[in-house]
Structures are given as structure tokens and as C-alpha cells.
Amino acid sequence: MASASSAAIFGTAAASDGCSRRVFATTNVQVRASRTSPAFLRTSRAIKTYASCSNSSVVNAALITEASAKVIDGKATAKEIRGEIAAEISKMKESSGVVPGLAVILVGERKDSATYVRNKKKACESVGIKSYEVHLAEDCSEQEVLKHISVFNDDPTVNGILVQLPLPSHMNEQNILNAVCIEKDVDGFSPLNIGRLAMRDREPLFVPFTPKGCIELLHRYGVPIKGKRAVVIGRSNIVGMPATLLLQREDATVTVVHSRTKNPEAITREADIVITAVGQPNMVRGSWIKPGAVVIDVGINPVEDTSCSRGYQLVGDVCYEEASKIASAITPVPGGVGPMTIAMLLSNTLTAAKRAYNLE
Amino acid sequence: MASASSAAIFGTAAASDGCSRRVFATTNVQVRASRTSPAFLRTSRAIKTYASCSNSSVVNAALITEASAKVIDGKATAKEIRGEIAAEISKMKESSGVVPGLAVILVGERKDSATYVRNKKKACESVGIKSYEVHLAEDCSEQEVLKHISVFNDDPTVNGILVQLPLPSHMNEQNILNAVCIEKDVDGFSPLNIGRLAMRDREPLFVPFTPKGCIELLHRYGVPIKGKRAVVIGRSNIVGMPATLLLQREDATVTVVHSRTKNPEAITREADIVITAVGQPNMVRGSWIKPGAVVIDVGINPVEDTSCSRGYQLVGDVCYEEASKIASAITPVPGGVGPMTIAMLLSNTLTAAKRAYNLE
């Protein structure tokens, strides 16, 4: 299973020569931020020189053996979760005559943003969430965006509101995000919600999608968290930091590794659970992983690949080829955390609706 | 200097026989919670059987040598800070005709709470902060407390509001604390403020007193934080968790050690900076400390001592006698973090006033 998935991840070309020996030049292809995508980690980061995996002297002898890690299949898990959500919404509709509603506000003509919004809409429809969309012109005023947020705040059929980021530069992002009422702020990034996540006797209204997806994968794959050593690599507001808080809530002993950390390799090697969210292709090598550890790779990094029709392939922060031979379980990229993010958006929207309609 | 302080901490009897070989029975003397005291960590915990320091087989050979750690003198540092605050308030009064104001609400007749409130009042007066106090009967209504908070919220001469905890059991603590407007919530424990502390691009309005005092001691003693390994032992909302967030903001690589952590000793021994806030007398032994580490001990634990007139002495979470021979610098208990807490309350009240009067 692991080998098959490994091949699937790297594509046909990669299956034959792994991720070694390929070094690509940086191009100008931009990867844009989305508020509900791990790609947010890499705002405006260009496709990079490919950090090769296997031709390093640090590679451990164990790497010569076959891949042994169980593949944590985010795509299949997300599908399963979407099925559960759809069933719950169907029952909700039957018993109460209501369905959850999600509103997305898109400003401007960015293709990537339009794609994200389209995908969210599709995902909503697939589980029975009613989706609302407002598409405003690039040069519209902040006031206009705020007006739409206010309408959605007051609309009882809308349970979640998402503003697709980035917004045009003439707008104050914080003003706009703060305007979404906390009961409908399903992405869970408001400071009040993050504070509740950090505090031991409080409950957050919503857990941010991507870290929630990481923990959900650990749960569904039966990975124990309590009392385990965990390392989170990266400390972004949208993944690393809330993932740390979530692991701490589940009684892991957590260390946060970041750009100022000395000897991140040795620290990471102590962890039973590793979550990476840095946006550095193949940064985490096999030698960073403790044998038997569980690896959750949030990074989705585009690296140039002229053999692909689109000119690039997606790889994680972890050198999958190496780490899958050391870890006991690992998420592939793509097909790991990525699909979970949108499933968690649907889950949070359902939670918001149940709360609004007193169906909890 | 270290030896002298060590003797001072343990008193005359302790100076002659250290903290070894004395094991006391648990008594019924209760240590009560205060919102602005590290004692909060130990709500209703009785004076304990004294965890002896020196008669353990794990004690390292290095412990036989003399104490070498620099004593981080919280009492002197707090005095210095109070002097700086007094000077600033004096200038403020001269140039703008205003002084900061702090209101404290005390409900009931608990002696410990009355003492804390009296000490805060004295400290305010000593630096020129105007203090306001409301003392309500144990059986007053929640509504009555809320009414006083509302009056203080509206009073422009009051810049900070503290509700002395614990409140009588018939009151909803969260309701009452939430009623304090965030600009005057100087203790910084509101979820919104904690969220801002956790987020990288946000600034908290106030940093909670005790963790702020810990970091201030590190700063004033020139202890580098950036890139250092730090361990915070304890994850309370009022000390451990915000201390972790503060160390992370200063680019330390932080691990949180707690009751579910396996092998806390080995993890702690990796740290360049150790902050303990667990309320367990002498839990952290010399063998837990990396040679040269800096130790900040937030614990203030009463242990029975019949040779003292009050029947107990105060000791930290760290076995000072052992750790002071391994660490490069250490806070004593008492006289370490304790005096800093009230100095940071004064500092936060001054910050609130400067903000309210646009004097920043």
C-alpha cells in the first residue's frame, strides 16, 4: 500500500527516479494565499529550486530498506467525513427542515481564489450545505465588502461566512475579518477564538480547518496523542500555532520548532508525532524522523517539473521517500492533509448550524 | 552571594541542615487562590509533606560543590521597576495633571484576599497610582458586583480593574470577569487578550503579571532568549501557558512539560531556560537542570516548619539547594518572581493609563 501510494504521489516519472537528482530553477509562477488552504503558508512564494531528497550524506542506512510506513490517506478519510456530514445534514433537513448555509465573499479576479471558491461551493453542494457567493470587483470599496458581511451576519440561513484572501491591497484585511460575527466565523482565526483554544477551561467555537484536519487524521488512524512527544515545525497563526494548542489540549508534550531553532533535526528526532507546516519542499529528511514516528505533512510546495503538463509537481515539507521508510505512518502530498481542510470547513459549518438551530 | 541568599531563603534552621531529612505531615492549613498571585496555582492545596531535596540517589556528583548560580533578585529588580514607574507617573502628573487609577473589588471576608488587596493598595500608593477599593459582603448578589464593575468601566479616572478571586461560590466568575472592559482588564487573562498573545502579528493589550515578571527578570539579567531551548513546567492559564507564548514570541524553542509528560527530567535537562509553575515543593531536582541553565521558579509552596513562628516556610518548585549548584542563574523563593508580580500589575496599570490618555 505504501509503495503504491508513494508512486502515486510522485507520478510516473518520480516513481522511476524518486525525488533525487532533480534540481530545478526558481520560476515566477506564484502560489497564492487562500484563507482555507495550507497554501496560505506560502504567500507569494515562487516555485522553488527542488531540494533533492536522496543524495545526501546524512541519509541513514535504514533508508535503503523498503518503505514501511502506513499511508495516512487524507483523501479517503475526507471522503468518509464528507459522507458522515452529508448523512447528518440529510437527517437535519428531515427532522427540522433546515440545512446549514455557508457564504463566501470573493473580491477581484484572481484565478487561484476563484478556483478555491468554486471548490468550496462544490464541496458544500456535495453534502447538502447551501452555499451563498458574492463576487465583487477588484476596485470595490471596503465599505461594500463590510455591507455584504453585515447582510450575511443578519441572515439566519447563513451559518458560516468566509472572506476569500488575499483581499485587494486597498482594503484593511483585519477590519474586514473582524466584521464577521464570531458565531459565523467558521475558520476560527479570530483572536478571541484562538484565546479560547489556548485556555484550558475554555472551548473554542471553531477549530481552524487545517490543524483540525491534522488531529482528525491522527484520531481516525488510532494514533495515541496523550503523553506522547510531539514536534510542530512552523508557528504560523493558521497551522503551526493552533496545531500546537490542539496537541497540548490532548496532553501531548509539544515542542515548537521554527526558523530560529538550533538543531531542529535532533529535536524533531525525539518526537512520536511530527506535524510540519513550513512551506519548504523536502526540508524534513529521513534522518529527522524517529523510527516509528507518525508524520503529518501540511506543506504543499510546488516544485518545477517539466515532465508534468502543468510544469510543476506538488511536494510536502517532508522528504516522503526517505521518511516513509522510517516513520510508522505518514501523510502523502498531495492526498494527505489537503483534502481534510475542506472537509473540516464543512464540519465547522455544520457545527455552526447545529448551534444556531439548537440541534446540538 | 548565592550562598547568602540560599541561607536567607531557608532561614536559620534551614541554613544549618539544608532542606534534607525533613518530612512533615500534611495539615489542614489552606493556601488560597488570588488572581494576581502565583498562589493561584495551588487553589485549596494544603501545606504538604515536605519533599526532601538532598537525600536522593539521583543527586549528581556536581552537587557536592558550592553553589555557583547567580541569584536573580526579584525583590531588588521589582524595587527598581517600582522606582521607574514612580518616576514616570510623577512626570505624567506634572505634564498632564493625571495619574493612573486602579480599582480593586473584594467580595467577602477572606483574610488572605484582604491581605492581597491591602498589599496592592500599598504598592499603588508607593508609586503614585490612585487606588479605588470596593469591599462587598460575602452574601451580596452577582448583580451588585456587576454594577460596581460597570461604574468603574465608565469612570475615566480608573484605568485598571481587578476583581479579587476567589469569588463566593454563588457567583459566576466568568460572567463577572467578562464584564470588565478589555481596555481596563489589566491582568490580561481574557481570551481575546490571550489570543492576541498567541498570534504572531497581533499585540496583546496586557501581558499577564506573573509571566511578564519572569520574562522581565530574564531581560534585566541579560539572559538571551532568542534561539534558546526553553522548558516551561506547568500549563496553567495564568502562568505556564502565557509564559510559553511569551518565550515563543521571543524566538525561544519551547517545550511545555506537564503532568502527562513522560520523563520530564530528561526533557528539562535539555533547556537553557527553565520556568517552573506547578506548585509542587522541590519537584525539580538538581539532576533536572542542564549545567549553566537559567532557572525561574514561580512556585511558592508552603511546607510545614515548626521552627518558624508561623508554622511553615515557603519553598519553590525547584530544589534551590541543588539547582543553585548546577544553574548559572536562579530565582530564590521567596524573593524571586513573587515581588515581580505586583510590580507588573503597576506596570500594566501605567500602560493602561498612558493608552487612555494618549500618552504613549
Cell of A217: 487524521
CA of B202 vs chain A CAs: smallest distance (Å) = 9
- Interface contact B241, partner A, CB < 8 A: yes
Tens of pLDDT along chain A (360 residues)? 333 333 222 222 233 333 332 333 222 333 333 444 433 333 334 455 455 665 444 444 444 456 689 999 999 999 999 999 999 999 999 999 999 999 999 999 999 999 999 999 999 999 999 999 999 999 999 999 999 999 999 999 999 999 999 999 999 998 999 999 999 999 999 999 999 999 998 999 999 999 999 999 999 999 999 999 999 999 999 999 999 999 999 999 999 999 999 999 999 999 999 999 999 999 999 999 999 999 999 999 999 999 989 999 999 999 999 999 999 999 999 999 999 999 999 999 999 999 999 997
Tell me whether residues B235 and A200 touch, CB distance under 8 A: yes
Å from B273 to nearest chain A CA?
A: 14
Determine the residue type at A23: V
Average pLDDT over residues B331-339: 97
* Paired sense of beta strands A30-31 and A45-46, if any: antiparallel
Chain A contact set for B201 (CB, 8 A): 237
The answer to whether position B93 is within a domain reads: no
Per 3-state DSSP, chain A is made up of helix, strand and coil in percentages (nearest 5) of 40, 15, 45
Same domain, B71 and B212: yes
Inform me whether the pLDDT recorded for B65 exceeds 60: no
Host domain of residue B285: 2-75+208-341
CB contact under 8 A, A198 and B201: no
Q: Which chain B residues contact residue A200 at CB under 8 A?
A: 235-237, 241
Q: Assess if residue A144 is contained within a domain.
A: no
Of B195, B237, B256, the CB nearest to A253: B256
Residue from A177, A226, A255 whose CB has the most chain B CBs within 10 Å, to mutate: A255
Q: What is the pLDDT of residues B196-229, one digit of tens each?
A: 999 998 999 999 999 999 999 999 999 999 999 9
What residue ranges in chain B does DSSP mark as E strands?
Answer: 30-31, 45-46, 70-71, 101-107, 130-136, 160-163, 229-233, 253-257, 273-276, 294-297, 301-304, 312-315, 329-330
Q: What is the pLDDT of residue A16?
A: 30
Q: What CATH number did the domain enclosing A233 receive?
A: 3.40.50.720
For residue B56, is pLDDT > 80? no
Q: Which residue of B has its CA nearest to A247?
A: B256
B203 interface with A at CB cutoff 8 Å: no
pLDDT tens digits for B98-157? 999 999 999 999 999 999 999 999 999 999 999 999 999 999 999 999 999 999 999 999
Please list the active-site residues of A.
120, 164, 187
B47 three-state secondary structure: coil
- The verdict on a CB contact (< 8 Å) between A255 and B257 is no
Q: Please list every residue in chain B whose beta carbon sits closer than 8 Å to the beta carbon of residue A190.
A: 195
Asked if residue B60 belongs to a domain, the reply is yes
Q: Are B24 and B38 members of one domain?
A: yes
Nearest CA to B325 out of B68, B15, B58 is that of B68
Binned at pLDDT 50, 70 and 90, residue B72 comes out as very high
Domain membership of residue B85 (yes or no) is no
The tally of domains found in chain A comes to: 1
Per DSSP, the residues of B101-162 read: EEEEEEES--HHHHHHHHHHHHHHHHHT-EEEEEEE-TT--HHHHHHHHHHHHH-TT--EEE
pLDDT of res. A360: 79
Dihedral of alpha carbons B82, B88, B91, B93, sign: negative
- B52 pLDDT band, cuts 50/70/90, is low
Looking at the fold, whether B134 and B219 belong to one and the same domain comes out as: no
| pLDDT over threshold 50, residue B35 | no
- Catalytic (active-site) positions of B: 120, 164, 187
CB contact under 8 A, B191 and A199: yes
Q: What residues in A contact B196, CB-CB < 8 Å?
A: 191, 195
Say whether both B141 and B285 belong to one domain. Answer: no
Quote the pLDDT of residue A68. Answer: 87
Determine the pLDDT at residue B316. Answer: 97
Contact B200 A258 (CB under 8 A): no
- Any chain B CB within 8 A of the CB of A251? yes
The three cell numbers locating residue A215: 488531529
> Is B59 or B264 the better-scoring residue by pLDDT?
B264
pLDDT above 80 for B59:
no
Whether residue B245 and residue A200 make contact (CB cut-off 8 A), yes or no, is no
- Whether B26 and B137 share a structural domain: no
The fraction of chain B above a pLDDT of 70, given in percent, is: 81
pLDDT value for A66:
66
- Angle among Cα B176, B182, B187 to the nearest 5 degrees reads 75
- Residue A43 identity (one-letter amino acid): T
- Please answer yes or no on whether B253 and A248 come within 8 Å at the CB atom: no
CB-nearest to B193 from A195, A200, A257 is A195
Q: Which residues contact B76 (CB under 8 A, 6 or more apart)?
A: none
Local confidence band at B266 (pLDDT 50, 70, 90 cut-offs):
very high
Backbone angles phi, psi at B329, to 5 degrees: -155, 145
The CATH number assigned to the domain holding B158 equals 3.40.50.10860
As a whole number of angstroms, the distance between CA B275 and CA B239 comes to 9
Residue B80 in domain: no
Which is higher by pLDDT, B331 or B310?
A: B331
B308 falls within a domain: yes
pLDDT at position A54 is: 53
- Chain A residues with CB under 8 Å of B194 CB are 194-195, 198-199
Closest partner residue to B254 (CB to CB) among A190, A191, A256 is A256
C-alpha cell at B288: 533536572
CB-based contact, A237 to chain B, within 8 Å = yes
Chain A residues within 8 A of B225 when measuring between CB atoms: none
Cell of A123: 464541496
Residue B68 pLDDT: 87
Q: Which of A196, A227, A256 sits opposite B260 (nearest CB)?
A: A227
Per CB-CB distance under 8 Å, the chain B contacts of A241 are 198-200
Could you tell me if A202 lies within 8 Å of chain B, comparing CB atoms?
A: yes
How many cross-chain Cβ pairs, A to B, lie less than 8 Å apart? 91
pLDDT confidence of residue B63: 47
Asked if A195 has any chain B CB less than 8 Å from its own CB, the reply is yes
- Out of A195, A255, A257, the one facing B191 most closely (by C-beta) is A195
**B212 and B334 fall within a common domain:** yes
Residue B196 lies in a domain: no
Nearest to A198 among B198, B226, B255 (CB): B198
Residue-level pLDDT at A18: 36
Does any domain span residue B360? Answer: no
Contact check, Cβ <8 Å, A262/B245: no
Helix (H), strand (E), coil (C) string for B321-334: HHHCCCCCEECCCC
- The predicted-structure confidence for B301-323, as pLDDT tens digits, reads as follows 999 999 989 999 999 999 999 99
Of A195, A200, A254, the CB nearest to B255: A254
Do B235 and B312 sit in the same domain of this protein?
yes
In terms of average pLDDT, the best of A41-55, A165-179, B9-23, B244-258 is B244-258
Q: What whole-number distance in Å separates Cα of residue A5 and Cα of residue A7?
A: 5
